[in-house]
Amino acid sequence: APSPGLQDGVATVSQAIAGAKGVELEVSEYYTYLHPDPSTMPEPRLDPGVRVGSLSPVHLDLLNETWPYGG
């Protein structure tokens, strides 16, 4: 069954195009939930030990060791 929000056939055509290029494409269904008043939501707080930054090529080994689907 097509995912809600996609025009009929988009998933099938996308998979065919990806397949022709040798890429496997898996369609995942998801649901979007909207809060009626987002301004009432609390601000997210990160643990003090969490650091947000950019990735660079020097991080490749760590990523590949951490997640099995790395390159």
Question: Could you list the residue range(s) of the whole structural domain that residue 28 is in?
Answer: 1-34
For the chain, the domain total comes to: 1
pLDDT at 36: 95
Q: Is a pLDDT exceeding 90 seen at residue 41?
A: yes
Which residues have C-beta within 8 Å of that of residue 31, sequence separation ≥ 6? 4
Is 2 a domain residue? yes
Is 7 a domain residue? yes
Is 68 a domain residue? no
pLDDT at 2: 47
Q: Is a pLDDT exceeding 60 seen at residue 71?
A: no
Is 14 a domain residue? yes
Is 58 a domain residue? no
User: In whole angstroms, what is the distance from residue 36 CA to residue 55 CA?
Assistant: 35
Is 11 a domain residue? yes
Is 63 a domain residue? no
